[in-house]
Structure 1
Amino acid sequence: MKNLLLTFCLIISLTATAQRYSDQAYLQDRAEKFDLNEETQNIALLQIASDRNKAIKILSENGLLHPYEKKIRKDFEYRPLTDMHIVALSRYQEQFIYLTDKAVLSNAWAGKFYIDHGIQNPKGMAIGADFLTLVAGNSELRVFQNGQKIWNTSVNNLNPIALEYDKTTGHFLILTEDALYQLDLTLKTMEKVYDGSNLTAMCYYNDEIVLGTKDGIQSLNRKTFALNKSNQKLPWTEITSLKNIRGALWFGSTKGAFKLRSDGKYDYYASKRWLVDDHVVDLEKGPDDTVLVLTKEGMSKINFEPMTLAQKADYFQEIQRSRHIRYGFTTDLTLQTPGDLSTGYNHDTDNDGLWTSMYLAGELFRYAVTKSEDAKLNAYEAFEAMERLTSLPDLKGFPARSFERDGYEIGLHANGFSGEWYKKHVEENGRIWRLSDDEIWRWKSTTSSDESCGHFFVYALFAELAPDKAWRDRAIHQIKIEMDHIMDNNWYLVDWNGEPTAWGKWNPKYVNSFPTNVGDRRLNSTLILSFLQTAYHFTTDEKYKKAAEKLIRKYGYDENANRPATTIGFVEGEDLSDKWNHSDDEMYFLTMPGFVNYSFSEEQKTAHFNTVKSHWEVERSEKNPLWNYLFALSGSKNIDSEESAWWLREFPMDLIDWKVDNSHRKDLTKIEPNFRSQTYSEVLPGDERTLHLHNGAYRNNGGSDGNREYAPYIYLLPYWAGRYVDAISAPVPN
């Protein structure tokens, strides 16, 4: 048997010359969310703040609240405050300051800070140097120093929205819906310095005063108050809050929160992945470098924690093992209560073999890199589940989609098919779930080509990377029996009823029935040649090589497979050509290493490599690390290491399938509807779009209401593949 491991080692040495991502700690963001509980529901939330003790206070129309155990509850810490009518909340020297209908006070400084402000119906306050305090009502302003009033004025119908103190000038700013005023205590004057409309919020940022409006922001010169610029190119323009938090400009809006980045773009925090709801009421600096986002229905604490890609993989590995294993299969978790992981259960899917092969591959790569006993045991467990897919059906190498104990399978049909189609199928063919000979288990039929490509991909890896020869031989046996089934059945996956499955078809009559620019002609030719090359590589049985040569010589399969990806396009009247199929990408890239590395000759290998390179070039804009690392495994030196690492860094920590909508965003450049279903001019980071598997590129909108948690293999496989091909370094200390 040829030694593929030597081939892989050569590939790794080649890719090591490419730029390797140094896995140093970066700031990983994740959210903790706190809902209103039963006693606080339907209470209007107004402000949020935290102090030097890391306490978090929320001001509501019914007094103070605080977050505790994922809920927002009434705050009883200081009993006297429960009897006060608190109208505003602020901080000074990292301590809480409260404005009530009678006073400005604090419980810090031994409770000595107390001002009887004497304003009817106060609206807000601002604290300056040395406890200089401005209190504003609808028509009156008063300033206090050392508890004594030092200035006041009356302004009819002022209705202040926000008050700020400028420590560089010693002046106060007062924002109303249609104007900005400056209070100069040296001159004892209050002057209107800017006329506006629909103003909603303000803050200082660098040398500017940033004003929020109902339609974007306006930036004023901090000294002259001249308008520098207006900006509506934001994720959303109805601004509710503006805050300078640790030198970064944060925005609250009626459609989420966002932060200005150094490159002029925005990090966008919206949907239930990040927030309880998207209507932001207030933003504030939180404890330990967090950001607090108060919304109408709760609060979120956005954490920024130093983390390496390796630590992120450890985090996801724990989730994978604790919640996403069913009989050794990798599976998603269905949540009976949306968003509540405690209500989750595992069940079968159409593609248990495919998803499991991808997790298994990641564990094989992890074992190869680390020699972890845990990785080996996980790989063996997953292999046994996949191995049983061919042992339960009595069909000589036919792989089931899944299996389950009789009576516990979810549905009686393949996912995605129901109604009249299913009724007709059952009448003509019988149940898709078949009872095994022991009458204890049922196995799922109708297996498709995507299952087969996952099997051949991972069995080849297993045959080389598993440390024990007996286990490697079992993988080679699986390759042989699955290949023999296809060959013995005239290049079809033939089901229990003697008929080919809907998608398990590699017969020349089927493959060559498609026009040359329909993707399935190219893809199916590539798959079956790769399967045959793999079988020949590991068994050296000439029948597999001869069969491949016949498909090439007589039916043009190499010609089909070697067409560049740019030939794929729309064909009038062809159902399979109305748009680019990203599930085909998944099959193609999983098949890519075997298609190139197991070629029968160097000439063929060069042709195959050039073809897969054309496919990678088409997919390159997705920045998908799995595609990049599988391309590296096929011999490429150029794999876009930084783009791959960006994808892994931006992959969300929350794996729940939340509904995400970016269609309203005004900061993104939309492009015309196109064959590849690309929506915007650039790919969005993973934590700003709907979560999806590797066969779902460009899905920027969609998702569900939180009724499932995705299995973390979608991160683990590319991460460990990157480590294996030396495109990601081991974690760098400090």
Structure 2
Amino acid sequence: MKKSIAIQCIVLVAGGFLIAKEAGIVYHDQPFIQDYSEKVPLARELDGARMMKVRADRNGRILVLSDKGLLQVHEGWLKPDRLHRPLADMQIRDFDVHQGQFVYLTDEAALSNAWAGRFLVRHKRPDAAQLAMGAEFDFLVAAGERVTLVHGQNTTLELPIGDSINQLTFDPSRRHFLMLAGSTLWRVTSDGDKAAVFRHEKMNCLGLMDDALLIGTSDGCLRLDPVSFEQRSGIETKLPCTEIRSITPIGDKTWFGTPRGAFAVNADGAIDYYASKRWLVDDGVVDIAAGPGGSVLVLSQTGLSIIHFEPMTLAQKAEHFDRLTRQRHIRYGFNSAFVMSEPGEKSTGTLIDEDNDGLWTSMYLAGELFRYAATRSDEALRNCYESFEAMERLTEITPMAGFPARSFDRAGYQVADKSRWQPASDAHWVWKATTSSDEIVGHFFAYAIFAEIVPDRAWRDRAVTLIDAIMDHIVRNDWYLVDYDGKPTLWGRWHPEYVNQFPRQVGDRRLNSVEIIAFLQTAWHFTGKDLYREKAFELFEKHGYLDNIMIPIWEIGHVPGVDLATEWNHSDDELAFLSYWNLYRYAFNEELRERYRQAIEGHWQIERPERNPLWNFIYADTGAEQFDLVESIWTLKQFPLDLIGWDIRNSSRSDLAFLEPNFRQQSTAEVLPPDERPMSKHNGNAFRLDGGAGGRYEFSGDVYLLPYWMGRYLGIIRP
């Protein structure tokens, strides 16, 4: 959602981690308002019912009016409401809330169960369809092309309108009724005077604010003076959807219902967009109302969505993602994919392998290592050991020394890419071949942090042994990952002939140089073997790898005829920044460290529009004084609690400033909040407007946990 990104940044006087000292600012974790959705679909026995209206009373009861009667929320479903038996026998045409209590309109009367049941007024309009309560207990009833104003038991006044009536409402500040009928807005006073006060084609609904009257049309929103009814400005069209079906002011926001979801306009004009199954049962919004406990009720064609707003800290949000990950994403210690056969139905989900099990697990493991360092949590340490052993076995299970598999599994459970699976020495297990540079980046990133943080020397030594074994494999095999067939894998290549074949504008030349030097420095730092340092300087002096690292990132661009240079590769951003962590920390000398800092800063500058906290915090590790802390916290706050890959569409929105197609695939002037865009890992394009996994894939919490706990580890975020 587009909320203000202003946060509390406090200057440190003393203490704290190195980065907090150097940067001079930290974020002190304070509660913010976190939104999330509770989706209540229509019970199966009511399929096909037409939804009409939703309201909540002062007791927190939620009722929905449908063409099959009143419905209530019960055990996660919308089901028939039978709480008051007499109501179940009545033909309820409309209902509303008056003085916090439900008031019902039937074919015979307006009545309520509140006020000791004394309010029951017969309106003499058997075709009554709509109700609007007045200041006291007077009310307006719409039926066909006529309205009836009712005062007390016997005082009624019929007013012909001449058009079908869309909406009735009462303006308590000016003590008159308003009515939309066809292309005319009518005002009806308490003594029965009616007047046409505004005309416009395609009017659908109206909403009352303190200082304005809003008219929703099929082409946008009109703003009228609430007294003179003069139009204040042109029609507002810079909205997520211009076909407005309902307008409801709630608190300091104004909510709009459309056929493409709901959106709220804040007091500062910023828009929060709620669409897709991340937020709504379906996008065809019928009605919106204030709900219990500050929630917002969004009624759609097939059910009800309750948008909750609750205070939460970043730490509490991390606890949520930790539970999600531990409950549904741990497989043999891997941070694994969770796939559902039915969209959003977690009971149909299963854990599967992916090509990058090692990389995704390394990112989860690193987050848990940072968590342990910041909190000394025994649970976090157990998680670290469990995931480390899974990664360790990736190297142990293959017959080639120092060659990690992509994944492993029990034999007989592979459903895709069976040709890539190889038998292990234990016939009960198989391992996946064709390991890529992505995996190696993850191994070096996680093992280095593991070797620095875990308290037990024996465990640290195991990580160093793996660093040494993988590095030795690459050096022995002339800068290649050599697979079971004796051939280099497609993407495990750092040999100068491969790297330097690319023009400077192709990102792989720079990236692969960054990776291999980061690997060699890490191996030298932890093993002390001079061979690794010597090999690194050989790559510097004979093959120009330092020059490759220093290629300005803004030179990367399209190169005709080169497949790897058709568009910006966002996976390469992930591999580069994870490698920067090791490249900078384990530099052979201070002169190199400063060169690396310049290279990292250049890459960070071009990534700043994405507001990615992981990139920002890795850059902060270089001692940067400016690393976009405010933008990082904004992203963490806006991260959705629901990590299911729902299909999302933003390209049709009218409120976005679109850019011309470009190499970096930046579609809009500003990045959308994470809770409005398609779900992705850090290797995805943050400016992708449309996409999803059909609701059948749930992402793991490491996408949030790694940057959050890195921020805690570096002292950038403080509890």
- TM bracket, shorter-chain basis: over 0.9
Deviations 1:14-64 (A, max 9, x none): 4451x3222111110000111112211001010011111111111001111
- Aligned partners of 2:666, 2:322: CA distance in 1, in Å? 31
- Aligned partners of 2:154, 2:212: CA distance in 1, in Å? 32
Q: Which residue of 2 aligns with 1:96?
A: 102
Provide the aligned length of Structure 1 versus Structure 2. 703
Distance change >3 Å, CA 309–CA 690, structure 1 → 2: same
- Aligned partners of 1:352, 1:281: CA distance in 2, in Å? 43
Distance change >3 Å, CA 16–CA 516, structure 1 → 2: closer
1:164-175 to 2 correspondence within 5 Å?
Answer: 164-175=169-180
- Aligned partners of 1:34, 1:560: CA distance in 2, in Å? 55
Q: Specify which of 359, 365, 372 is matched with residue 370 of structure 2.
A: 365
Shift of 1:181: 0.8
What amino acid maps onto 2:570 in structure 1?
H
Q: Which residue of 2 aligns with 1:105?
A: 111
Q: Does 1:589 align with 2:577?
A: yes
Moved more, 355-364 or 337-346: 337-346
- Aligned partners of 1:527, 1:118: CA distance in 2, in Å? 81
Shift of 1:179: 0.9
What amino acid maps onto 1:119 in structure 2?
R
Q: Which residue of 2 aligns with 1:239?
A: 244
Shift of 1:728: 1.2
Would you say the 8 A contact 1:220–1:227 is kept in 2? yes
Q: Specify which of 194, 200, 206 is matched with residue 204 of structure 2.
A: 200
- Aligned partners of 1:13, 1:298: CA distance in 2, in Å? 48
Shift of 1:198: 1.0
Shift of 1:156: 4.6
Deviations 1:644-675 (A, max 9, x none): 01101111111111000011100001110010
Deviations 1:484-504 (A, max 9, x none): 000000000000000000000
- Aligned partners of 2:463, 2:378: CA distance in 1, in Å? 19
RMSD value over aligned CA atoms? Answer: 1.3
Distance change >3 Å, CA 562–CA 9, structure 1 → 2: farther
Q: Which residue of 2 aligns with 1:600?
A: 588
* Residue aligned with 1:228, SS: coil
* Residue aligned with 1:20, SS: strand
Q: Which residue of 2 aligns with 1:35?
A: 41
What amino acid maps onto 1:653 in structure 2?
L
Would you say the 8 A contact 2:511–2:576 is kept in 1? yes
Q: Specify which of 676, 684, 687 is matched with residue 696 of structure 1.
A: 684
Q: Specify which of 582, 586, 607 is matched with residue 619 of structure 1.
A: 607
Moved more, 498-507 or 674-683: 674-683
Would you say the 8 A contact 1:15–1:638 is kept in 2? no
What amino acid maps onto 1:717 in structure 2?
L
Q: Which runs of 5+ in 1 are unaligned?
A: 1-7, 414-430
Would you say the 8 A contact 1:347–1:410 is kept in 2? no
Shift of 1:309: 0.6
Q: Which residue of 2 aligns with 1:12?
A: 19
* Residue aligned with 1:569, SS: coil
Q: Does 1:23 align with 2:29?
A: yes
Would you say the 8 A contact 2:16–2:715 is kept in 1? no
Moved more, 388-397 or 330-339: 330-339
What amino acid maps onto 1:590 in structure 2?
L
1:482-631 to 2 correspondence within 5 Å?
Answer: 482-631=470-619
- Aligned partners of 2:452, 2:154: CA distance in 1, in Å? 82
Moved more, 118-127 or 565-574: 118-127
- Aligned partners of 1:15, 1:374: CA distance in 2, in Å? 31
Shift of 1:165: 1.2
What amino acid maps onto 2:717 in structure 1?
I
Identity of aligned residues (%): 47
- Aligned partners of 1:177, 1:377: CA distance in 2, in Å? 67
- Aligned partners of 2:586, 2:456: CA distance in 1, in Å? 22
Q: Which residue of 2 aligns with 1:189?
A: 193
Would you say the 8 A contact 1:45–1:60 is kept in 2? yes
Shift of 1:142: 2.2
Would you say the 8 A contact 2:161–2:181 is kept in 1? no
- Aligned partners of 2:172, 2:261: CA distance in 1, in Å? 30
Q: Which residue of 1 aligns with 2:711?
A: 722
Q: Which residue of 2 aligns with 1:426?
A: none
Deviations 1:100-121 (A, max 9, x none): 1111111111111111001241
Would you say the 8 A contact 1:129–1:167 is kept in 2? yes
What amino acid maps onto 2:541 in structure 1?
R
1:48-197 to 2 correspondence within 5 Å?
Answer: 48-149=54-155, 151-186=156-191, 188-197=192-201
Q: Which residue of 2 aligns with 1:46?
A: 52
- Aligned partners of 1:479, 1:10: CA distance in 2, in Å? 27
- Aligned partners of 1:272, 1:167: CA distance in 2, in Å? 36
Shift of 1:87: 1.1
- Aligned partners of 1:716, 1:202: CA distance in 2, in Å? 43
Distance change >3 Å, CA 401–CA 531, structure 1 → 2: same
Q: Which residue of 1 aligns with 2:5?
A: none
- Aligned partners of 1:467, 1:633: CA distance in 2, in Å? 22
* Residue aligned with 1:703, SS: coil
Q: Which residue of 2 aligns with 1:706?
A: 695
- Aligned partners of 1:388, 1:15: CA distance in 2, in Å? 39
- Aligned partners of 1:368, 1:410: CA distance in 2, in Å? 39
1:299-448 to 2 correspondence within 5 Å?
Answer: 299-413=304-418, 431-448=419-436
Would you say the 8 A contact 1:276–1:295 is kept in 2? yes
Would you say the 8 A contact 2:23–2:623 is kept in 1? no
Deviations 1:531-552 (A, max 9, x none): 0011111111110000000000
Would you say the 8 A contact 1:90–1:96 is kept in 2? yes
- Aligned partners of 2:16, 2:718: CA distance in 1, in Å? 16
Would you say the 8 A contact 1:492–1:505 is kept in 2? yes
Shift of 1:92: 0.4
Q: Which residue of 2 aligns with 1:220?
A: 224
TM-score, length-normalised on structure 2? 0.96
Shift of 1:185: 2.7
- Aligned partners of 1:401, 1:206: CA distance in 2, in Å? 61
TM-score, length-normalised on structure 1? 0.94
* Residue aligned with 1:656, SS: coil
